[in-house]
Amino acid sequence: MRLFKAFLRSAAYERRFLTKNHWDFSVVVWIPLVTILLIWWIFAQTQITDLPIGVIDQDNSPVANTLVRYLEASPDITVRQLYPSPAVAEAAILQRDIYAVVIIPEDFERNILSGKPAPIVLQVNAQYGTHSGIIQKSVQTVAGTLSAGIEIQRLVKQGMAPSQATIAYSPISVQRISLFNAATDYQQFLASTVIPALLHILAMVIGATTIGRELRDKQLGRWYRFIDTGSPNLTLINNSHRQLTELDSQVNNANFKSQSTQNISIPVLLFGLIGKYFWPTLAYSIWSILALWLATPQQTIALTSLLATYIGLVLLMILSFWLGAIFTVASFSLRAGLSATGFVSAPSYAFAGVTFPYIAISDSAKHWSDALPLTHYLKLHIAQLQMQAPVAIFLPIVYGLMIATIIAMVITTLLTKRALAHPERWGAR
């Protein structure tokens, strides 16, 4: 009953704070909701189409005109404009009016008809990796199609049957089958994985600030006394931490200087911390449902896969809260805690193996990637929601997140007990 009361008092303490502080309430409720909807809206167009390119036609022949029409007909790219010179096209690339320029050289048609090589030049802005890859693939496909048509026509004119001409030109063909994400849906590929990464960042910020503001405002001792004894009565005090008098803070510190760490109950402290993070946990559990619902609109996913992914995402959020708390309480500084959470969480998506292959990164980067919880969750997320792999194979990830969360809760409790024993270090920004 004592532990349950500590949990309820801490949850009530945090609820009163959130209702009086709109910014902290927004980080828990409104900002993650807006983040999820905004990311999904950004990727509302599930496929990249009509990337603008330019063409410099130095030949002006029928074959060159055919090539331009083929480029325009490609679904992935569109010919924005025919440019008179490379200088004008370069200026358009620098202004991001186009992402590439195709140069058709002089004597293009003559070289083709005489059987000589007739290359076209593609200058692409490789700074944008996704754009440049799509443009290069599309231009190469168009060039190959046009080249094949010209060669087959030449063979037919020499008396070869059209079917034989096709085989003679390309005896080996590739049958490409996309196993997963066959529609190249960027909502499924990027948006569904970016959202957990952003929620992970916000959750670590909440974890750092929720306990960090008690240290910053020198109210950690008041909070512990309240969850342990129910005193002072929250209905009789001002809810704004920063409006306490300096005398009250000095008395608060003096009381804890005279109190031995043996008098601090670790179970009470643990349940108090659980209550302190109850409302963020509840809110982010709801946002996790929304994120997974958006991630599976047109797919039939097994209930066990959805359940495993949801549990993994909720565990990731809870673990993020407690990791943020660890960084803050260990350093006795909210500023240092926020800096550490940003260092760990902000670049974690880059190491997760989604946009850059995990197998291609260096060994040291792999060690760092393996230490990040987001990496393991995204493995579970992609395997269950996109590849529909057997749940049993990835259950160890769920167990690992669960164990890591329990360890983080224990470490946070012990570090908070240490912080309670050193009130002279409270108040650091």
**Structure confidence by residue, pLDDT tens digits, 278-305:** 999 999 999 999 999 988 866 788 899 9
User: What does the pLDDT read at residue 244?
Assistant: 44
Quote the CA–CA distance of 264 and 417 in Å, as a whole number.
Answer: 7
User: What does the pLDDT read at residue 262?
Assistant: 56
HSE value, Cβ hemisphere, 13 Å, CA-based, for 415: 22
Per-residue pLDDT at 260 exceeds 70: no
Per-residue pLDDT at 166 exceeds 90: no
User: If pLDDT is split at 50, 70 and 90, which confidence band does 238 have?
Assistant: very low
Per-residue pLDDT at 155 exceeds 80: no
Per-residue pLDDT at 253 exceeds 80: no
More confident residue, 266 or 255: 266
Residue 325: which of 220, 195, 194, 244 has the closest Cα?
220
User: What does the pLDDT read at residue 127?
Assistant: 87
Residue 129, burial from CB neighbour count under 10 angstroms (0-12, 13-18, 19+): exposed
Task: Give residue-wise pLDDT tens across range 358-402.
Answer: 888 889 999 999 999 999 999 999 999 888 899 999 999 999 999
User: What does the pLDDT read at residue 49?
Assistant: 86
Question: Torsions phi, psi of 228, nearest 5?
Answer: -90, -40
Residue type, 305: S
Tell how many helices (H) and how many strands (E) occur in the chain: 19, 4
User: If pLDDT is split at 50, 70 and 90, which confidence band does 169 have?
Assistant: low
User: If pLDDT is split at 50, 70 and 90, which confidence band does 183 have?
Assistant: low
Per-residue pLDDT at 43 exceeds 90: no
The mean pLDDT of the chain is: 87
Q: Looking at residues 111-124, what average pLDDT do you find? A: 86
Helix (H, G, I), strand (E, B) or coil at 219: coil
Q: Using CA atoms in the order 32, 34, 35, 40, what is the torsion angle rounded to 10 degrees?
A: 130
412 neighbors 329 (Cβ within 8 angstroms): yes
User: If pLDDT is split at 50, 70 and 90, which confidence band does 184 have?
Assistant: confident
pLDDT above 70 as % of the chain: 90
User: If pLDDT is split at 50, 70 and 90, which confidence band does 198 have?
Assistant: very high
Which of 54-68, 109-123, 226-240, 338-352 is predicted with the least confidence, judged by mean pLDDT?
226-240
The DSSP bridge partners found for residue 55 are: 82, 102
Q: Look at the pTM and tell me if it is higher than 0.75.
A: yes
**Which span out of 27-36, 155-164, 171-180, 240-249 was modeled with the highest average pLDDT?**
27-36
User: If pLDDT is split at 50, 70 and 90, which confidence band does 237 have?
Assistant: very low
Contacts of 169 (CB under 8 A, 6+ apart): 148, 151, 152, 155
User: What does the pLDDT read at residue 233?
Assistant: 62
Please state the separation of Cα 282 from the chain's center in Å.
21
Q: Looking at residues 403-428, what average pLDDT do you find? A: 92
